[in-house]
Structure 1
Amino acid sequence: MDQQKLRSLVFEKTGVKIDIDDPVFALVALNEAVLEDAVQRHVALIDAASQELAQQARLAGGVAAQAPSHKSAHDASNEIAPDHPPGYVPTPAAGPVRPIATQSPAVTPRELRLLGAAAGIALLSALIVLSGQAAFRKPAPALTAEQAQALQNADKMEKALQKLDPKLRAQLPVELQK
């Protein structure tokens, strides 16, 4: 860890100047130590799992029983005495390995059922709303005999106005406003 680099990076990003003796560097060192420990544990777990997988493949006939001779010293040491975490129990080979599904169908049966249920609920809701409107709707008020007669007279007047001379038709609105 280059403290000068970290100081300049912090200053560039935040504008805050920190000293080399600042306690934040102790936290950085602690973070590095914890991260290194976690990485080592995960590497050990991955090595153990890959060795177990190779062993299962050999047992299933997928890989040649004899290991290649170009292994590194690290791989060879792991084969002799693998670094298993405490409480690690390898999984026994259970016959041929099944292929893993890499693609799923566009719409699963569960999604189809959910879509069907949603469509049914939408239709039911629409029916409830429409029946409520029909039940509580007030009927249009009926016209009285006088109102019906006035509408008929208005239609007759409109037809008669269309038959008038255009000059006379233009003067009529002026005369009606007086």
Structure 2
Amino acid sequence: MQRILLFFSFILFFTPLFSWDTNITSIEANFLQVTYQGEEKITYSGILYAKTPNFAKWVYQNPLKKEIYLNGNEVAIYEPMLEQVTLSTLTQKNDFFTILHAAKLGEDGNYHAIIANTHYTLILKNNTPYQIHFIDELQNTIKITLKNVKTNITIPDSVFIFTPPPHIDIIKQ
């Protein structure tokens, strides 16, 4: 669970990582996440919504439906097929300014940040967030590609609030 929380703590602050355009306040994009666990490759896809200050929602559509809500340091991971939600609080300090100041342009033309001992490589396409690569603490290589990126759009706060449906199990960690 800590691995998931570390990964999503990054996601919570995804938009500020790309703050060389300091006017980015929100982002909506389709995503393709490829995770390599040794020789095994797992591919996920869905939609990302994020906005300042520290809101994010990942809607996984394939291969299984899942929703991840981040609101400040509160996390809700809703898995409809399991009829459960896991609620937890992030313990790592990954605030807006920490990540904002950590992303630096590298010699390879990409941006790099080291947060909580994880090295992130950020790639732009047409000066828009396009890809991020990193290796998690279990040595899984993760590559997230964004498409149909929209920035500075209005996203209502209600998008980031998880309301549990009736009859699901609530797990608090």
TM range, normalised to the smaller chain?
under 0.3
TM-score of the pair, normalised by structure 1: 0.21
TM-score of the pair, normalised by structure 2: 0.21
Q: Which structure would you say has the larger RCO, counting Cα contacts within 8 Å and 6 or more residues apart? A: 2
Rg (Cα) greater in structure: 1
* Bigger strand fraction: 2
* Bigger helix fraction: 1
